[in-house]
Amino acid sequence: MLLNVLSPICDGDAPYLVYDVDVENTEGSTATITFVNPSGGNVVYTDLPLSGTILWPGAAVDGSGAPTDWPGWAFVGGEWVEDSSDAWLRNPITVTIEVNPTASATVSYPPATPSCSANPPGREDPPPPSSGEARLPNTGTETLTYAGIAGGLVVLGGLTVAAVRRRAHQG
């Protein structure tokens, strides 16, 4: 199986995945596409043609194709707020296409462009989740740097004094 295209796109402010596979020596004429959730609960599309465009999981459009929902967001109390329940769909994610055999690739949520946002109206991409690693803030001073500079100035001053004394003895 040859994976020709596996590309996230933004179209009409909605996120999609464009795919195209070539198969040889197999009877398969449909594909299964799996968005692999690193925490479990994959999103699976079955019986798809071997090429096409699918709506990104967690997104929704109305009958005219206008977006009505985006992964990582929820409409609560009349405004769009970040929702962590499907935020994993906005991170780089492994997508597997199975016809017989299988191909996998890592794709990222479609980036915003000047003409297409793939986010709720007036909202920017939510920040990526933290890695969970805690770091202590940098404190103190760079004492070694200052000591090195001071030492260099002392040496330069000593060389200057020696040069002045040498000229005075010669003159």
- Output the domain CATH number for residue 24: 2.60.40
pLDDT of residue 139: 47
Task: Calculate mean pLDDT across residues 101-122.
Answer: 87
Would you say residue 89 lies in a domain? yes
Summarised one tens digit per residue, pLDDT across range 12-29 is 999 999 999 988 877 778
Summarised one tens digit per residue, pLDDT across range 147-164 is 667 666 776 777 777 667
- The dihedral region occupied by 99, where left means phi > 0, alpha psi between -120 and 50, and beta the remainder, is alpha
Residue 81 sits at φ, ψ, to 5 deg, of -125, 155
Summarised one tens digit per residue, pLDDT across range 52-70 is 999 999 999 999 999 999 9
Would you say residue 18 lies in a domain? yes
Would you say residue 87 lies in a domain? yes
Range of the domain at 15: 2-107
Report the range of poorest mean pLDDT among 5-19, 51-65, 96-110, 115-129: 115-129
Task: Calculate mean pLDDT across residues 122-144.
Answer: 52
The pTM of this model reads 0.69
C-alpha to C-alpha distance for 132 and 126, rounded to whole angstroms: 17
Look at the chain and report how many structural domains it folds into.
1
Would you say residue 166 lies in a domain? no
DSSP bridge partners of 116: 113
Q: What are the strands, taking DSSP E only, across 23-130?
A: 31-36, 43-48, 51-55, 60-61, 67-69, 73-76, 79-82, 93-98, 102-107
Task: Calculate mean pLDDT across residues 144-149.
Answer: 62
